[in-house]
């Protein structure tokens, strides 16, 4: 370990914390309604990108804006291009917070706020790692380009745009996963089912409205339904809900029955760590005697396809491989409003399973239940061999800094690494620590934030020495 670089990183602790606080204050959630020239993903993300670019300039780096899709922060000009891929956008806060998601709060050595761990905290750690290498004055053979995207959470359009303007780096890492090194990522398939329905007749037992989930890549922790109909039936359903559902609330409001099902949020790459509130709602609604036959069949079909949980058995796609484990499924969004219903599903597919075969099975199974699914994202898996030079360098760095030798791992998450060649994820979540990305009360441990910066600085220095 290069001690001079390490001491510099440690000296930046307070500056890193202050920089992260300023970025977390900006609610950089995609908002296409406020999109415009130079702000393709909305003004909030544009503001966060501006703040990030100003920070990088203050730290002494050259910065380039790629039309609001991404920014590049550069150090050096010779040799091979060593890349860092991070992102400034965040998922919506969702429900269940005990803190203000965009008012960073430090408590017991942890900073709470949306984006603290995904991905603003790691982004800041990587910037200060670059600063440490530069200020050390140690000789290097290559140069660094830190690419910060604005659309990682909703489609990677940012990195795709960047790659139409520039070639990708020669190799590098993304601080947007877990330690030690993620050398393989599952394939990702996202699809939706939209269906028209007749306007509900509130004089009969009917579903007026459903609102469940906010983003497809998070396990929904709340699902709400408004039911109309005769008072006697609504009161009977209210009693049934109170008897059967332990997590939730129910009351009759303005002549309609309001039911809220409560779950536990989690990242869609690990749905088994959460409790899907939409699935709880479907299991309850499927047995209600709605007056409209099509409504009854709709919920029975949803139950057949999804109520078994996260393995995808109802869809006929349950499978696994030795490298990356089981396929996982997350029904992330279900909305019913007036004459339209829509649901969105996130699938994480084992590395060695063919995505096209999985999609064909989903399509055929859904069609048997009267649905016409459409996919809007299909991303192939990532695989870099464990014995690759990049992987081994990062594993060596991890051992030198932490004193622990770990094996390279696989995840269900999807990072920028699969959009470019010769990239792997490196942190920020340490072994045994909870994955808090996309969850309520997201936080970063500040000691671990500094540890991340130490790791990134040593990794950069080693990669900058490569022939």
Annotation marks residue 89 as catalytic: yes
Which tokens belong to 462? 């080693």
Which tokens belong to 49? 């990108």
Contact by Cβ (8 Å): 220, 234? no
Which DSSP category does 236 fall into?
Answer: H
Which tokens belong to 395? 């594993």
Question: How many CA atoms within 13 Å lie on the side-chain side of 23?
Answer: 31
DSSP SS3 for 463 = helix
Residue 366 to residue 194: CA distance in whole angstroms:
12
Task: Output Rg (C-alpha) for the chain, integer angstroms.
Answer: 24
Contact by Cβ (8 Å): 207, 235? no
Give the helix ranges, DSSP H, for 151-273.
157-165, 231-244
From the list 151, 300, 153, the residue with the least C-alpha distance to 216 is 153
At 91, phi and psi to the nearest 5? -80, 160
Residue 147 to residue 162: CA distance in whole angstroms:
9
- Beta-bridged to residue 256, according to DSSP, are 253
Residue 237 to residue 324: CA distance in whole angstroms:
43
The one catalytic residue among 44, 81, 89, 346: 89
Annotation marks residue 447 as catalytic: no
Please tell me the chain's helix, strand, coil percentages from 3-state DSSP, rounded to the nearest 5.
Answer: 35, 25, 40
- Beta-bridged to residue 252, according to DSSP, are 257
Pairing of strands 171-174, 81-87: parallel
Residue 292 to residue 397: CA distance in whole angstroms:
63
Please, what is the end-to-end C-alpha distance for the chain in angstroms? 19
The one catalytic residue among 152, 275, 419, 442: 152
From the list 373, 246, 249, 235, the residue with the least C-alpha distance to 316 is 373
Active site residues: 89, 152
């Amino acid at each position: 370990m290069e001690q001079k670089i390490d001491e510099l990183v440690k000296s930046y602790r307070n500056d890193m914390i202050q920089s992260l606080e300023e970025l977390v204050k900006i609610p950089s959630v995609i908002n296409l309604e406020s999109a415009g020239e130079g702000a393709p993903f909305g003004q909030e993300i544009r503001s966060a990108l501006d703040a990030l670019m100003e920070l990088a300039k203050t730290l002494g780096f050259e910065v380039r804006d790629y039309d609001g899709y991404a920014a590049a922060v550069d150090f050096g000009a010779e040799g091979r291009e060593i890349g860092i891929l991070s992102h400034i956008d965040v998922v919506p806060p969702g429900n269940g917070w005990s803190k203000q998601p965009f008012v960073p709060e430090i408590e017991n050595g942890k900073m709470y706020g949306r984006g603290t761990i995904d991905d603003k905290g790691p982004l800041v750690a990587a910037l200060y790692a670059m600063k440490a290498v530069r200020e050390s004055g140690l000789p290097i053979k290559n140069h660094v380009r830190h690419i910060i995207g604005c659309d990682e959470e909703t489609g990677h359009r940012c990195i795709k745009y960047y790659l139409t303007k520039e070639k990708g780096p020669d190799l590098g890492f993304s601080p947007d996963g877990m330690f030690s090194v993620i050398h393989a990522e599952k394939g990702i398939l996202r699809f939706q089912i939209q269906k028209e329905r007749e306007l509900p007749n509130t004089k009969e037992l009917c579903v007026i409205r459903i609102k469940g989930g906010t983003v497809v890549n998070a396990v929904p922790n709340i699902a709400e339904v408004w039911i109309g109909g005769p008072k006697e039936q609504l009161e009977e359903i209210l009693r049934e809900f109170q008897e059967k559902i332990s997590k939730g609330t129910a009351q009759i409001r303005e002549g309609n029955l309001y039911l809220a099902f409560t779950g536990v949020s989690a990242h869609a790459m690990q749905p088994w760590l959460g409790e899907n509130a939409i699935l709880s709602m479907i299991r309850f609604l499927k047995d209600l005697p709605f007056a409209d036959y099509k409504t009854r069949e709709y919920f029975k079909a949803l139950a057949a396809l999804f109520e078994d949980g996260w393995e995808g058995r109802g869809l006929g796609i349950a499978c696994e491989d030795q490298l990356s484990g089981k396929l996982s499924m997350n029904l992330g969004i279900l909305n019913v409003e007036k004459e339209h219903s829509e649901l969105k599903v996130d699938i994480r597919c084992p590395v060695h399973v063919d995505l096209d075969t999985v999609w064909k099975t989903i399509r055929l199974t859904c069609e048997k239940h009267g649905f016409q699914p459409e996919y809007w994202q299909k991303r192939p898996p990532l695989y870099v061999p464990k014995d690759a030079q990049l992987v081994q360098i990062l594993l060596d760095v991890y051992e030198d800094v932490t004193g622990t030798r770990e094996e390279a791992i696989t995840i269900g998450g999807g990072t920028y690494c699969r959009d470019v060649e010769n990239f792997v994820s490196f942190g920020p979540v340490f072994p045994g620590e909870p994955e808090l990305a996309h969850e309520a009360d997201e936080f970063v441990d500040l000691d671990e934030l500094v540890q991340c910066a130490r790791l990134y600085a040593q990794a950069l220095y080693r990669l900058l020495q490569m022939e």
